[in-house]
Amino acid sequence: MDKKLLADGFVRIAAATPPVRVADCPYNTEEIYRMICAAEENGAAVIVFPELSVTGYTCGDLFKDRKLMESARQSLLELMEKTKALDILCAVGMPVPSGGALYNCAAVFCHGELLALPAKQNIPNYSEFYEARHFSPAPESGMLRFGDAWYPCRDVLVELTPDVVVGVEICEDAWVAEPPSVRLARGGATILLNLSCSDEIIGKAQYRRDMLRLHAGRLLAAYAYADSGFGESTTDMIFAGHNLICENGALLAESALFSDGITYGDVDVERLVQERRRMNTWRDAPDCTVVEADMRLPQIETTRVMNPYPFVPQNDADLSARCETILKMQATGLATRLRHIHGKTAVIGLSGGLDSTLALLVTANAFDLLGLPREGIRAVSMPCFGTTNRTKSNAQCLAEELGVHFDEIPIQKAVEQHFRDIGHDPQTLDVTYENAQARERTQLLMDIANQYGGIVIGTGDLSELALGWATYNGDHMSMYAVNASIPKTLVRHLVRFAAMQGGNALRRVLLDILDTPVSPELLPPKDGEIAQKTEDLVGPYELHDYFLYYMLRFCFTPRKIYAMALRSFAGLYDAETIRKWLRTFYRRFFMQQFKRSCLPDGPKVGSVTLSPRGDFRMPSDACSRIWMEEVEAL
């Protein structure tokens, strides 16, 4: 039997709230069966129902009645028989008598076979919940009898594949100090199910949502929570059917309160497993009973779309808060370095482009933190063959608005002399022509820093470092690189945030810089306009930042990143465009590692950085063959 995961690692799970008639097992069973069929038809591999869903949760002393127990038992047998041809793992809540006690269980079954009877381990006996009147906690023996056979009932895992492993806990188990799900996750569970019947009161939904979302994050797991809804007794309690599907700290799907139905979530199991492997604090503790489920995972086409801008918060309020925090982190890092070396001068090559603008804004903030006069910041414009009046003017205006020292040092004659020295034809507009300008600028900045006892502030960003879009020992080098962990897609938002905080004149110049095409300005302009646009040469930075994030943060394969990008950028880029620039990304990423192996210090602000001192260590001669072969096969 083929039990492989989908090509891109997603598994669909479902949390269902059926309408309930208290103590009417035949009716409840029909509703459960209907939802199992619907979920299986919709590609779900796993479905979880509420606590005691076969009988209803609020049966009270009817749980002592033998007739109700017999009806529940018969209902489970009918469910298993009717679903034996379906490829779906089901977890259904029901009371299970065993020996002289009654247990609140989840009947876990597929293909007509009962696999386990996880029993509730923490029985509440407070306020409106009086379960201890009827139910016993899961027995220490870890086994329950159902019919003529015994089934595991404590710390039991159901394995669909080595990576798709399901664990179950019941309602109150999730709310205690040491939930069973902790042991289940450490035992290997990547998908956790909770069969619940949680009454609704004001404020509880938000608390429940936050608790389970963060719990899933702590366990590096998916968590599906099925809640009872319409039909449960209203004697003292109201049930809202609040179903939740969380994954590693994120809320994937949520039902509306006071509704019935099925909530679906496509879980990225591959990502969960990879997260556990990359965290050296994660410790497996495989002290659980493992039962294998003999079923195939449904082959689905996931509807889940990843954020196309993973470095940028989607909510405006979150984005503003993120920008404010990052600017403070950058400034604090630079201020710490300046204080350590007793530095009072910083030198920046100011081009009028986005990166050098952000570096200057950060440096100004750092000087303010230290109480140093901004005149100690020396912004240097070094126009050459490709410099346009627009960028040169914006550089000067920005320096004036920020109150920093400004120098303009044309380098055209120096570069021409260099061409004569090395015998290069200035009409040959090749890499020598371009890089000579970048290295001349860096030489000037370093010498000026020596002259005034300061340090050179680097301006290159994370996206450029990933692509190697920097001149070795040119703009590649500095004494402190404040933008080294800021991707290009985020640079724009940081500058825009600063623009909105500044006065009218500063805002005008910053907005014009934002409106200027990204360019190294190393080739002569055409009709006074920028002729060399970076994204025409190396591809859209929004694509490269997307590739970079999912490659480094989750170690996804080129094939998976490509499949995700098709959904994330649908309507913006076609398949061939995404494939073309993905090929460029991997080729340049591997070829240019030697530049990243000797980077200057810079502040780390996010989870994806390329510092060779700890965040990303790759040999400069690593071969890209297996990655490029997968890209070519797309």
Residue 574 is classified by DSSP as -
Write the secondary structure of 543-569 as one string of H (helix), E (strand) and C (coil): HHHHHHHHHHHHCCCHHHHHHHHHHHC
What long-range pairs does 617-625 form, CB within 8 A, spacing at least 24?
A: 618/593, 619/593, 620/593, 620/594, 622/590, 622/593, 623/590, 624/586, 624/587, 624/589, 624/590, 624/591
Residue 194: which residues within 8 A CB-CB, separation 6 or more?
Answer: 48, 168, 169, 170, 171, 173, 174, 181, 212, 223, 224, 225, 226
Residue position matching structure tokens 């195939």: 296
Burial of 265 (0-12, 13-18, 19+ CB in 10 A): buried
What tokens does 123 get? 């029985």
Question: Does residue 120 have an active-site annotation?
Answer: yes
CA proximity to 72, closest of 88, 58, 86, 92:
92
Among residues 31, 51, 131, 521, which one is catalytic?
51
Could you tell me the sign of the dihedral formed by the alpha carbons of 371, 372, 375, 381, in that order? negative
What are the phi and psi torsion angles at 219 (to 5°)?
-90, -5
CA proximity to 616, closest of 629, 602, 630, 628:
602
What tokens does 348 get? 């920046």
Transcribe 462-528 into DSSP letters: HHHHHHT-S-TTTTT--SEETTTT--HHHHHHHHHHHHHHS-HHHHHHHHHHHTSPP----S--BTT
* Measured torsion, CA atoms of residues 445, 450, 453, 459, in degrees rounded to the nearest 10: 20
Among residues 25, 90, 110, 120, which one is catalytic?
120
CA proximity to 586, closest of 612, 615, 611, 618:
618
Q: How far is CA 551 from CA 303, 556, 560, in A?
A: 21, 5, 10
One-letter amino acid at 565 equals A
Percent composition of the chain: helix, strand, coil (DSSP 3-state, to 5): 40, 20, 40
User: Distance (Å, rounded) from C-alpha 31 to C-alpha 35?
Assistant: 6
Among residues 171, 197, 288, 323, which one is catalytic?
171
Are the CB atoms for 516 and 390 separated by under 8 Å? yes
Residue 17: strand pairing partners: 261
User: Distance (Å, rounded) from C-alpha 293 to C-alpha 47?
Assistant: 14
Q: How many CB atoms lie within 10 A of CB 135?
A: 22
Residue 587: which residues within 8 A CB-CB, separation 6 or more?
Answer: 624, 628
Question: Does residue 344 have an active-site annotation?
Answer: no
What tokens does 222 get? 């998916």
User: Distance (Å, rounded) from C-alpha 628 to C-alpha 130?
Assistant: 61
Question: Does residue 171 have an active-site annotation?
Answer: yes
Active site residues: 51, 120, 171
